[in-house]
Amino acid sequence: MTYMKKHLVLFFLLFSVWEVSYYVIGKVLPEDFTSDSCPPPLLAQNGSQTEKGESRIRKEYSHIREVKFSGSIGPLGEKRLCKIKCIGGQWVGPLCADQQDNGRFQPLFKNCKLEYINPHLLVTFKNITIHNPGVVFPHGSQLQVRCNELGLYKLLGTATPRCHNGEWTTRLPSCVPTTMLTNFTEDSPPTILIKIPSGSASVEPGGDLAVFPGSTLHFECLYPRRVGSPDWTWTTPLGQYLTGWAIASEERDWKYRLSIYYAKSQDSGTFTCATPRGITNSVSVHVVAVTCEPISVSGMHLTVRVEGTRLGHSALFQCPTGYVVSGSPNLTCQASGKWSSLVPKCEPVKCPPFNTPGGLEAPHLQLEEHNNSYGGRAVFSCAWGYKLVGAPGIECEISGNWSGKLPKCVPVQCQPPVLPVHGHLIQSESPGMDGGRYAVGSLVQFACKGAHLLEGEASIICTETGFWSHPPPFCKPRCPYLGEPENGLVAPTKFAYDPGDELQVTCNPGFESKIEEQRIKCLSDGKWSGVMPNCTSYEQI
């Protein structure tokens, strides 16, 4: 590289190639540049492309020949110095410094993804357990795989798959259940139960048993004695071990034992139990005098019970009521001299919050009070026109779960109003009407048929209580206008007459009606008390 560092401009952005995130910290401005400049490099945040920062740096990139940045690679975020180079108008790279190669910049090969982890498998990467599938590993990563329950399952396949340019060198191994789990069927590998009556041991990420010197171990190979006798073999050249059927009556017919007393480093090796059919299961022993750093508990609230600091000793952590252990509550001292996990923390119990940016999922539900700490409450209400169904308040429990489900808001509705006899609705449908029921705010208007008189409120509203604002009106009967008699007039003249109204007939000159018939009355049932009187001429009387 013949460029001179003119000056270093610091800016911060993330960018990604092959799903690896990089943190760009600097760029080098060359003294001389050609017209062969590169466009701004593709920027990505957490694997997805972003525009952020691009306009700010667009101009500046035209002079850039090389971008150096700190790459954060793999699931553990290993920091490596990486760079991309502008060659012939194109960005090339990234190339990352390789410690194994004297810090030379090497191209990054493709990552490998761990798609699925069988629940019986324990996958570790650099002594860190990988719990969830979907993790991406950089080229060259080596996983360590073992069966969760050493001795109960037998590992089938290679325990150390390695990522090579996007491909795993071998498939993930599988775990085959052993005799104890298969009811002692003859074609399954024998179970090996590991007993440590004195001393300590740790099951290592690679599946071997790391044993502190001086420990006593019993390996019990489970096989039905009536079928035949299994056989123990070992790879330790000088080792002499006691083997034979257990002595206690409840064990003597199915436990074929090998014992290691006061384990020494010479006892390191693989111990294999083979059934008469030649089906095997093994335990690899690694005797090593390792102690871990004493545990220092600095976190608030955390209490620990430490068995000791020797290999295989464990430390159990607890938090007081209202707190949960965040991290692993059980650490074991491992052969690496490290505890199996970081010291956990005590986090206050929190229930899943409801006041997230997404808000409450339930429609129309509103939060009146929200305290998602242990013992806190969430109190709900509904939007106008809705009522709450379910508990209006729930409590955050010690488990970190709410004491109940979210309540629901259902629309408040009024029953259809009773129609008055001789009446009808002018507005038979309201916008809020649903299955014959009316939503809050619906207005209905009544009218009476024919000459009937509306008494009460002509329009009523469905209120928040689920009841109408007023009772429905009545349609009172009225007497009809009968028309004018021949040769006479009626008074008063109305379209209809209220009950109690009287109708007076006045005959034209020369005509007359019977006195007793001259007045008729509108009765309360809407009928006239009599018929319309006739005006007859004098001559006819």
Ligand X SMILES: *[C@@H]1O[C@H](CO)[C@@H](O)[C@H](O)[C@H]1NC(C)=O
One residue of 30, 376, 456, 499 binding ligand X per CB under 6 A: 376
Judged by CB under 6 A, does residue 158 bind ligand X? no
What is the spatial distance between Cα 243 and Cα 233, in angstroms, rounded to a whole number? Answer: 10
Judged by CB under 6 A, does residue 224 bind ligand X? no
Judged by CB under 6 A, does residue 375 bind ligand X? yes
Q: Tell me which residue has tokens 């952005």.
A: 13
Task: Find the part of the chain contacting ligand X (CB under 6 A) among 373-381, 443-451, 455-463, 472-480.
Answer: 373-381
What is the spatial distance between Cα 68 and Cα 283, in angstroms, rounded to a whole number? Answer: 48
Judged by CB under 6 A, does residue 321 bind ligand X? no
Q: Of the two residues 28 and 324, which places its CB atom closer to ligand X in the complex? A: 324
Q: What is each CA distance from 489 to 199, 286, 430, 504, 506, in whole angstroms?
A: 127, 129, 47, 8, 5
Judged by CB under 6 A, does residue 132 bind ligand X? no
One residue of 146, 155, 204, 380 binding ligand X per CB under 6 A: 204
DSSP code string of 132-172 = STT-EE-TT-BEEEEESSBTTEEEES-S--BEETTEESSPP
Judged by CB under 6 A, does residue 328 bind ligand X? no
Measure CA 103 to chain center: 43
Q: Of the two residues 66 and 204, which places its CB atom closer to ligand X in the complex? A: 204
What is the spatial distance between Cα 127 and Cα 342, in angstroms, rounded to a whole number? Answer: 12
One residue of 165, 229, 291, 373 binding ligand X per CB under 6 A: 373
Judged by CB under 6 A, does residue 217 bind ligand X? no
Structural contact between residues 67 and 24, judged by C-beta atoms closer than 8 angstroms: yes
Judged by CB under 6 A, does residue 332 bind ligand X? yes
What is the spatial distance between Cα 518 and Cα 207, in angstroms, rounded to a whole number? Answer: 121
For ligand X, the binding residues in 225-284 under the rule CB under 6 A are none
State the minimum distance, in angstroms, from the CB of residue 332 to ligand X.
4
Judged by CB under 6 A, does residue 335 bind ligand X? yes
What is the spatial distance between Cα 532 and Cα 527, in angstroms, rounded to a whole number? Answer: 12
State the minimum distance, in angstroms, from the CB of residue 312 to ligand X.
8
DSSP code string of 426-469 = S----TT-BTTBEETT-EEEEEESTTPEEES-SEEEB-TTSSBS
State the minimum distance, in angstroms, from the CB of residue 434 to ligand X.
33
For ligand X, the binding residues in 41-60 under the rule CB under 6 A are 45-46
Task: Find the part of the chain contacting ligand X (CB under 6 A) among 75-83, 154-162, 347-355, 531-539.
Answer: 531-539
One residue of 16, 243, 334, 413 binding ligand X per CB under 6 A: 334
Q: What is the 3-state secondary structure (H, E, C) of 504-531?
A: EEEECCCEECCHHHCEEEECCCCCECCC
Judged by CB under 6 A, does residue 309 bind ligand X? no
Judged by CB under 6 A, does residue 316 bind ligand X? yes
Q: Of the two residues 282 and 332, which places its CB atom closer to ligand X in the complex? A: 332
Structural contact between residues 257 and 243, judged by C-beta atoms closer than 8 angstroms: yes
State the minimum distance, in angstroms, from the CB of residue 447 to ligand X.
35
Task: Find the part of the chain contacting ligand X (CB under 6 A) among 329-337, 404-412, 447-455, 457-465.
Answer: 329-337
Q: What is each CA distance from 478 to 433, 483, 520, in whole angstroms?
A: 33, 15, 14
Residue type, 422: H
**What residues make contact with ligand X under the rule CB under 6 A?**
45-46, 126-127, 182-183, 204, 314, 316, 330, 332, 334-336, 371, 373, 375-376, 399, 401, 517, 531, 533-534
